[in-house]
Amino acid sequence: MKRREFVGGLALAAGVTACGPDKSAENSSAASTSQTFSWNLVTSWPPGLPGLGLGVENLAENIERASGGRLKIRVYAGGELVPALEVFDAVRSGTAQMGHDASYYHRGKVPAAQYFTAIPFGLNANEMNAWLYYGGGVELWQELYADFGLVPFPAGQTGVQMAGWFNKEINTVDDLKGLKMRIPGLGGEVMQRAGATQVTVPASEIFTSLQTGAIDAAEWVGPYNDLSLGLHKAARYYYYPGWHEPGPLLECIINKEAWDTLPKDLQAIVEVCCQAINLDIQAEYIWGNAQALHELKQDSTVELREFPADVLRLLEKHSSDIVNELSERDPWAKRLQDSVTPFLQKSNENQRVSEYSFLKARIPGES
CATH number of the structural domain spanning residue 251: 3.40.190.170
What is the band of 273 on the pLDDT scale with cuts at 50, 70, 90? very high
Residue 147 and residue 94 share a domain: yes
Residue 48 and residue 115 share a domain: yes
Residue 234 and residue 255 share a domain: no
Residue 84 and residue 140 share a domain: yes
Residue 12 and residue 132 share a domain: yes
Residue 228 and residue 178 share a domain: yes
Q: Calculate mean pLDDT across residues 204-230.
A: 96
Residue 176 and residue 75 share a domain: no
In a domain, 6, yes or no: yes
Q: Calculate mean pLDDT across residues 68-95.
A: 97
Residue 49 and residue 18 share a domain: yes
CATH number of the structural domain spanning residue 223: 3.40.190.10
| pLDDT in the model for residue 17 | 42
| pLDDT in the model for residue 338 | 98
| pLDDT in the model for residue 173 | 97
Residue 106 and residue 215 share a domain: no
| pLDDT in the model for residue 10 | 52
Query: Got the DSSP string for 92-117?
Result: HHTSSSEEEE-GGGGTTT-GGGGGGT
pTM over 0.85: yes
Residue 233 and residue 134 share a domain: no
What is the band of 6 on the pLDDT scale with cuts at 50, 70, 90? very low
Query: Got the DSSP string for 218-256?
Result: E--S-HHHHHHHTGGGT-SEEEE--TT-SSPEEEEEEEH
In a domain, 356, yes or no: no
Residue 256: give the domain boundaries: 2-157+246-287
In a domain, 359, yes or no: no
Q: How many domains does the chain have?
A: 2
Residue 140 and residue 27 share a domain: yes
Q: Is the pLDDT of residue 257 over 50?
A: yes
Question: Which pLDDT tens digit goes with each residue over 119-133?
Answer: 999 999 999 999 999
Question: Which pLDDT tens digit goes with each residue over 277-297?
Answer: 999 999 999 999 999 999 999
What is the band of 82 on the pLDDT scale with cuts at 50, 70, 90? very high
Residue 318 and residue 191 share a domain: yes
